[in-house]
Homo-oligomer: A and B are copies of this chain.
């Protein structure tokens, strides 16, 4: 039955996403994935040509699921600053909910070759980045929108990525790990800089 085929294939991909995100490509063996799925290693090769192909299918799957609700926010009829605020809150929430996705992106940044970077940029980030770029221009036509857009993303993502180490750094509080708190801080910083709070 097709449902069964699709089902197993999907379970393999879902398991792979989690494993690759957690441990990285080289640290996950074909046997690990097979164990997680509950089949034998050789059976994976019925569904995928090889490990590399399975990995690429996994990141494509993981990345294609994103970028859903965010475009609406960026293109709504609200004033620019409200749209930015909504975007930051929503993006922070989405990113904090999907740790495997964030980790996969980090890993791709480190280990992805030029071709994969291009894929990521054009197929995953393009629409969102372009819309964010336009929004930044709307807020301040004078600024370097490319740099500003990167800055916005960096603020959100880095606070999330540094969660495990911030715990050991001065002044850490529990609330610093909450998505809403991070979003609030980032939006305030973008609006006022460091000087007001």
User: Residue A143 contacts which of B148, B151, B197 (CB distance < 8 angstroms)?
Assistant: B197
A126 CA to B168 CA, complexed, in Å: 9
How many positions in chain A have a CB within 8 Å of any CB in the partner chain?
A: 66
User: Residue A121 contacts which of B120, B145, B168 (CB distance < 8 angstroms)?
Assistant: B168
- How many copies of this protein are present in the complex? 2
Which residues of A are at the interface with B, using a C-beta cutoff of 8 A?
23-24, 26-27, 103, 106-107, 109-112, 114, 117-118, 120-122, 125-126, 129-130, 133, 136, 139-140, 142-151, 153-155, 157-159, 161-162, 164-173, 176, 182, 185-186, 189-197
Chain A's interface: helix, strand, loop or mixed, by majority? helix
The chain B residue sitting closest to A192, CB to CB, is: B193
Known: A158-B157, A194-B136. A170 touches B185 (CB 8 A): no
Do the beta carbons of B136 and A169 come within 8 Å of each other?
Answer: no
Do the beta carbons of B189 and A117 come within 8 Å of each other?
Answer: no
